[in-house]
A and B are shown apart, each in its own frame.
Chain A
Amino acid sequence: MNKSNHFHYITEEAILHSKEKHNKNRIIIGYGTCGIAAGAEEVLKEVQQVLHELKIDDVIIEKTGCIGCCSYEPLMDIELANSPRVSYKNVKPEEVKEIIDKHFGGDLKKEKVFCMFDEQENIIQYQESWKYNIPQIYSGLPTFKSLPMLKKQKRITLRNVGIIDPENINDYLARGGYQALYKTLTTLSPKEVIDEIKSSGLRGRGGAGFPTGVKWEFAYNAELSKTTEDSIEKTEKYVVCNADEGDPGAFMDRSLIEGDPHSVIEGLTIAAYAIGANKGFIYIRAEYPLAIKRLEIALKQAYENHFLGDNIFGTDFHFSIEIRKGAGAFVCGEETALINSIMGLRGEPRPRPPYPAVSGLWEKPTIINNVKTLVTVPVILLNGAKWFSSIGTEDTKGTAVFALTGDVKNSGLVEVPMGTTLREIIFDIGGGVKGDKQFKAVQTGGPSGGCIPFSLIDTPVDFASLKKLGSIMGSGGMIVCSESTCMVDLARYFMTFIASESCGKCTPCREGTVRALEMLEKITSGDATLDILTDLEQLSFVIKDTALCGLGQTAPNPILSTLKYFREEYIEHIEQKVCRAKVCPGLFNYVINDDLCIKCGVCQNVCPVDAVFGSKETGFFIENRLCISCNACFERCPKKAIEKVN
């Protein structure tokens, strides 16, 4: 059998395989890192136990990635043969038995139902789609796409996450996996691939937003410029997937790799073909063990099926991928630092140019693309550049993936067309601020980004609009801050992070960030005078203008944006020694309200530094000079009798 027939054959096999799965009863558990942390492991054990107890066999138990509705984890889905998949939310192990018992008995535990899956969320989405029958009892259940959290989303990059079993290549194939690679290798020239990506308007999703097709073209041309009459030897080239998702508060890339690892491999292989590389690396954080494990499994499957290796699909294209783990250095997300790290060196950046597309790994042309960029590539090649560029804004085409977290009701993964406003993301999709707190700001772009106040909440998200506000789109972390977040403390927090992550190579970043941190610490401890703000601002501009790499150049953004939009909080800390959010230790006091206090003594027991004095007879008081503001008494008081006062 020739190689192209072979591919059709395995795709058909995969679809058959998936059909069989839909014809059986399945229980599917959200098994990403957050799902596991929320208790998916215990739920899975309980499911196995319960099925055994109830003597229900012939059930396929599967794991899937994170569907992005993290507030509702652990999620347990049940799909009866030929019926829609029904998802149950916040499942506790002790609820498993009742849910399974009811569901398999033709009933539903309605109050635990999260949603019912649409037909687009079935495993088979290639050549044919699989139709199900909706049992009477399911009528009225919300479908996945109609959930308030999902209504405004458009899932292109996240197309398979939470739907397929990431450890089963058949699931990926039955949803059209590797079709784009097949089409590329068998019908398109490298130049045609580059042109298609260029005209789609895809920009790098790692944060900087550089046009992907243009980057590829640089690397493609790098070979031509080096070819002279004497040396017709082909230049070696490399492609790298940057999965060093270091921004604290971001987990899009982790979820993508955990939930859909083959799409990363497919995207990277297409990129390699386009520029003429035969070797690829996936540089991934060691802090993501599950993502690494799933990638390893996926790579093995891809080699077994000859989607990687020699003569892929019978063409003369060879390509292999190696995983390189990082070892906990934020700066390695910067591309020149990442290159050093892959070569086994200290992850220090170097000045650009030369850009890696011309001189990268071992001084060979190297392109480095973010996970989300690569995952988007196959879809563009299948659906066409025109389709992709019809989504989004003039400035930025396509969709943006955000990790929405912080003080927001529905935290999780969000994918929206570029141009969607912050308000739509935070309030319509995110459901607004948690509890009855007031919205204060949204932080985007991690330590390189900034804080955007409520007054600018109608700003559409794309690279240009966010930059104009002094923030950046970044790789996609979006942290909602409520009135209980102190903006000065947040700036201090980011500066602590940057000062410790600075690689130390250039002075502005190594020394400047430490000095800026000292100034911020003076302010948050109430020891500063007003003129410090001018110094802080000046220092920030110097760092921005003179630092060597992106890490240093963007490091002052959190300071500058909070100074711009929340200056009054800085002034309050300095002049009145007041932290209005009651976060900065020393700038507020814990006081026991005697009217509410029942003298139970919990506060005294829980205080780790013995700052609570008194007895059950006389009542208690807090000595704030000893207090470390750990909040333990405040959280544990059964009567909420402890108040924070300025």
Chain B
Amino acid sequence: MLLLLLACGPKHPAVVHTFPGADGRSCASQRVVTVDPDPWSAVTSIAVRLQADTPAAVGPPRSPLAIVHPDDLSGGLRIDLDGELGPAACTLVPGDPNAEQRTCGPYTFSIHYTPLCSTVPMEEGLERMGRPETANFVLAQKFGTRMPEPDVRNTWNTLEAFDLTGRIAACASGGPGCAELLAIQAQMDRGLARLDALDRFDDPKKARNLTSEGAGLDWCPWSVTPDGLRCEGPHPLRDLLTDDFLLVDTRKRCTVDTGSFLEIELAHLQERAPGPDGLRHQTCGGRTPGDDVIDRLLTLTINGPDRVPPGAPLYGPSDAAPDPHRGDGVDAPPEPFPSEFPWLREPRYAD
């Protein structure tokens, strides 16, 4: 990575510390000073000056002398002046031909350091969020099994949101990080299949034969084996959800509680006919604060694509209620959202 160093500006002084030096000690003795510079600065030079009227000299920096990492700062940064300056510290004493035996006169140390900037910072993703419930619902581990599933959510959180499917596709020939990416993809398939199969409890007879066609695996007809007995291949929602972002269209309007989550994606998935404006979707998409995304996700993933009245959208703003409606029993917040900026209500504290 090419990084360009820049001084951070005049508010960061370059010369910060001046220390009195040892007087008359042997150069063989070690002179160590402790300084307390700002984190993420570089010690760029050490100047040594004789006191009073003796000529001054500046020791050349063995650039860079140190990069000050925040972790290094407990107790200050220790600098071995003799080690850094070598003979330069002692040649300041005039008239002594023998460097090994010379003593150093009284002098001061000036530690120069300069806070550094780079135009391209090094960064580490800590957490990411696009669509709700992808991490906690779809990628969650199944507990209580003989074969523990991996918790891929920490890795998931550190990845860029965009074009994850492209990165995973490039893993066909292997590469760094591919094991984690493929584990995420596999867990996505497992999670979606589990959600799809939850409605086998609607019909106890189906629950006895979970692998046959129609046994609660509603997304299965999109990826059923030729014998019609098993589902195979990726879940149809897998790649859509893997690229983890909200899709919003500023050509359409919503209110603060429009049910618009996933509407754009599903309009294309269901091959909805374009409207007069040429767009298949009807809302702004994205996600509004008042949208009941839990009910939407449960109904979509459990019911599958076919349990809607003929001609009705999979799950859209004007569709008839999918049969049956899946939900958590909480369909709205206790109080409506304000219709004006900043749209969210005053805080309320549990503590």
Q: Do A and B share a complex?
A: no
The chain A residues found within 8 Å of chain B, CB to CB, are none
The chain B residues found within 8 Å of chain A, CB to CB, are none
